Structure 1
Amino acid sequence: MVSIKRHFHPIGQGGFFSEHHKVGLGEEFVVVYDCGVAHNRSSADGVVKTNLLNGVEIDILFISHFDYDHVCKLKVLSSHVGRIKNVVMPLLSNDEKFRLTNLFRASGFNLLKLINSPEKFFGSTTRIFSVAPEGPRDGDGDDPRDEAAVTLDSISPTKSLRSGVKISIPIGTFPLSHDWVFIPYNYESVTNLALLEAELTKEGISAHLIKTDPKYTLDKSIVERKVIKDVYSRLPGGINLNSMIVYSGPESCTSRLRLRKNLQDRIEIHKIPWLKSHAGLVAQKYPVWKDYFSDEDDLRDVDFIFDDEFEYLFQLPGCIYTGDVDFNQVDIPSVFREVWDQVGTLQIAHHGAAPCFDDSILKNQKLICPIAVGTKFLRKYGHPAKSVIDSIIMNGCVPVFVTELNEEFIQVIS
């Protein structure tokens, strides 16, 4: 009997998610997606050092992108777990490595070894795989999703993986009937590049030297740290051009696996019949909800949308982890069209920021939408935006806040 637990850890404004695939009391296959928090908050170390991962081997660590709030706790994670066997991360061109090296150095973020020498960052016992970037999909040409699934132990990390490759759990580890796959897709944003270069030029910083001279920002007379930080903070997608989305779920629509439970602080969300009840409960326990439901009328209005029990609506086991990708730029249902009918959970990107959100992704699918967000960022940055929460609810989907004040959000699949 295969069981899976998916954990959205309460790291706050950042990203830290894990999946634990088990067969009885024996084999376990563990996956982590991102590990970081805004401002490298030391109080988050205890979240990363969860007993769940103490001394445990991580089979695959997926890194969505290199924003500090998604990767700054990787060293804490590495020291806490037994071993990280494989890392799958976006492939960076030399231009992008130099650009990130310059910009992160000037911003005060210590990520140079992770970007330029991931093999040294993680150590010799970890294999590093890079996923080649792609832009928006046009038509149905050559498509790696039509290829057979591969296991990481069967391929060499010297050659980059194609976006859309299916990664399976090694044969022999789990029954053949466990047809679970992980599909990484590394989106490279031309739009973000144009915005970044325009902002740098406006501030008198050479967009050319930023990407060709890795020592450019060492000269403090050329680049002021505050200027770089300002550019970083005002760009909707930050300064990263790549963001790797990952599908985790059944490869086949005939899978018998179903999402059985959604738990937060021992409250079984999916067994509560109406959003009115759910919102009322969590508004009392989690302060962040009070900003979205001001009175009983708000709850009454949305109650009409949820006139069926959650347990009949939200059973699809697949999840898409989205990092900080811009929903306006990537047609995610199209990218993952082969498995989209298995997706029941969608991590809302960029902590629910309005500029990176497009509600067309919520059409025609009942989705549970976890949002990793820091409670202090609601008023400061509008994360998550009320318009995003409204869109999720009005489309019949369920927002779930994963903050530093909450218990972790857990999904049970069997």
Structure 2
Amino acid sequence: MTKMTEIMIRTFYPIGQGAFYTEKHDNNINIVYDCGSKSNKNKVDKKIINSFNNEVINILFISHYDEDHINKIHLLIQNNTVNIVILPLLHDDERQLLYNFYLSIGFNEVASLINNPDSFFSDNTKIIYVSPDEDIKNDEDETSITLKELETNSITTLKSKTKILINEFWEYIPYNHLYTQRNEELINLLKANTIDVENLKSDLNYGLKNISTIRKIYKELSGNINENSLIVYSGPLENVTSHILLECPIFLNHWFINDKVACIFTGDTNFNIVNIKEVFKKKWKLVGTVQIPHHGSKKDFNQNFLLENSLICPISFGTENIFGHPYIKAIELITSNDSFPKLITENTDTIYIQQIKYIA
């Protein structure tokens, strides 16, 4: 029997204080995780525009609704076609609060995406939500679905941990963890600044009347408006032999072979709340790359995921961010646990690319 071989290119783009990651498989299958940045647009926008050229993006995963993860999607869809967008499902009251909050401070694109993604994207883009799951230790057999079925069936919601089979080699597994205390910081700050949360939910004019206070609250949040993040596992099927052939920044000329090719994209997940080793324990032996959440934020970092595998750990952050990202101790802990931090800023020479070969 003839073996089939394909190549996938995984790229962590240098877009600074944000997130934009792609996986480009043979046969023109393109997957994107997040697309946003707060860094200097002159250093960022062209990199996003030039990442695809009149291509089809099969799936765009959106981790959550913070501006620095979604505010550049309009650049992505200017000249490309997005077939499917996969989002974390929000409760109606949470969606309404976030919608009015963003509208009141003038982030209209973000508000539109939250409230009505169907109108944000083209008529040909299918919107699918991942339902939340509080039970990290849920060991029930995961359901699976093919990319073709996603594209053609009338599916609007997926369970957390549904396996998305994009070809004979590879799968994506989204997981939406329902934080029982998510949005707590936002709500507490609103109340502390005498903003009536229920009025803000129900009356946009109320938000506009208190715009200066709400802007102040937004600046204090440091990207914590929506604590839940859609975590996505990307990795080979069990019967597939795969390895990383080439790691780049090119100027390092760094060739090596690594058979742990799976990656976990984490958005702004709080590692003190979500144990990704537990969530994806059936896959953990395949994981070699973990995107460090929230630009290496101190409050979201926990080293427990490092204590087994030797991992590659990309960290995206802006060189001029005011939050002290990344947490220097986190970099030290990654290194001292035989893992490798990859610092990705808005500077082009920090782009991080993996070339992965898989055989079945």
- Common topology (TM > 0.5): yes
Q: What's the offset of the Cα at 1:61?
A: 0.6
Report 1:59-70 matches (<5 A): 59-70=58-69
Percent of pairs identical after alignment?
Answer: 36
Given that 1:237 and 1:356 are in contact with CA atoms closer than 8 Å, whether structure 2 keeps it comes out as no
Q: Show the counterpart of 1:20.
A: 24
Quick one: distance in 1 between partners of 2:144 and 2:25?
21
Given that 1:101 and 1:214 are in contact with CA atoms closer than 8 Å, whether structure 2 keeps it comes out as no
Q: What's the offset of the Cα at 1:270?
A: 5.1
1:80–1:267 distance in 2 versus 1, CA, 3 Å: farther
More strand by share: 2
1:77–1:148 distance in 2 versus 1, CA, 3 Å: closer
Q: What's the offset of the Cα at 1:266?
A: 3.7
Report 1:191-340 matches (<5 A): 191-211=181-201, 213-215=202-204, 217-220=206-209, 223-225=210-212, 227-235=213-221, 238-252=224-238, 254-269=239-254, 271=256, 311=257, 314-340=258-284
Q: Show the counterpart of 2:87.
A: 89
1:214–1:261 distance in 2 versus 1, CA, 3 Å: farther
Q: What's the offset of the Cα at 1:153?
A: 2.3
Quick check: which has more Rg, 1 or 2?
1
1:129 aligns with 2:128: yes
1:385–1:195 distance in 2 versus 1, CA, 3 Å: same
Quick one: distance in 1 between partners of 2:179 and 2:146?
27
Find the partner of 1:362 among 302, 306, 322.
Answer: 306
Letter of the 2:94 partner, please give it: E
Find the partner of 1:385 among 306, 312, 327.
Answer: 327
Find the partner of 2:6 among 2, 5, 8.
Answer: 2
Letter of the 2:30 partner, please give it: V
Q: Show the counterpart of 1:161.
A: 158
RMSD over aligned CA atoms reads: 1.9
Task: Tell me the alpha carbon deviations over residues 36-86 of structure 1, each in whole angstroms, 9 at most, x when there is no partner.
Answer: 101672431101112x411111111111111111111111110132x1111
1:144–1:381 distance in 2 versus 1, CA, 3 Å: same
Q: Name stretches of at least 5 consecutive residues in structure 1 with no aligned partner.
A: 272-310
- How many residues align? The count is 349
Q: What's the offset of the Cα at 1:113?
A: 1.6
Given that 1:372 and 1:401 are in contact with CA atoms closer than 8 Å, whether structure 2 keeps it comes out as yes
More helix by share: 1
Report 1:136-155 matches (<5 A): 136-138=135-137, 140=139, 143=140, 145=142, 147-151=143-147, 152-155=150-153
Given that 1:372 and 1:402 are in contact with CA atoms closer than 8 Å, whether structure 2 keeps it comes out as yes
1:118 aligns with 2:117: yes
Secondary structure at 1:400 match in 2:
strand
Given that 2:104 and 2:208 are in contact with CA atoms closer than 8 Å, whether structure 1 keeps it comes out as no
Q: What's the offset of the Cα at 1:196?
A: 2.4
Q: What's the offset of the Cα at 1:218?
A: 4.0
Secondary structure at 1:333 match in 2:
helix
Q: Show the counterpart of 1:283.
A: none
Quick one: distance in 2 between partners of 1:235 and 1:56?
36
1:344–1:75 distance in 2 versus 1, CA, 3 Å: same
Quick one: distance in 1 between partners of 2:131 and 2:223?
19
Q: What's the offset of the Cα at 1:339?
A: 1.1
TM-score normalised per structure 1: 0.80
Q: Answer 1 or 2: higher relative contact order, Cα 8 Å, separation at least 6.
A: 2
Letter of the 1:401 partner, please give it: L
1:327–1:237 distance in 2 versus 1, CA, 3 Å: farther
Secondary structure at 1:35 match in 2:
strand
